[in-house]
Amino acid sequence: MEKKKFIEAYQMLPQKYLEPLKEEIKGKCGWNTDSTFHRKRLGTVRIRLPERQIIEEVFAKYNINAWTGEYIKQLAV
């Protein structure tokens, strides 16, 4: 099973959204420490399937694919 990471998606967000996103993911996934969040973000610790689904849902609120860092829908110009 491949290790997932969401560093690219995390880097797509403006600074003001990083802390709220981190706290939402930590709360919903049951991660108690910032170090757990950052190790999973970097892919050094495996993300379980239920956690993957939560991460995908949270990033989807920002129109970002959690695993590629690309926009889900392109905005009309």
Q: Is a pLDDT exceeding 60 seen at residue 1?
A: no
Mean pLDDT of 70-76: 80
Q: Is a pLDDT exceeding 60 seen at residue 67?
A: yes
Residue 76: CA atoms inside 13 Å, Cβ hemisphere, count?
Answer: 0
pLDDT tens track for 17-58: 999 999 999 999 999 999 999 999 999 999 999 999 999 999
pLDDT at 75: 64
Give the largest Cα separation in the chain, rounded: 41
- Which DSSP state fits 68? T
Contact 23, 31 (CB under 8 A): no
Output the pTM of the full model.
0.90
pLDDT at 73: 85
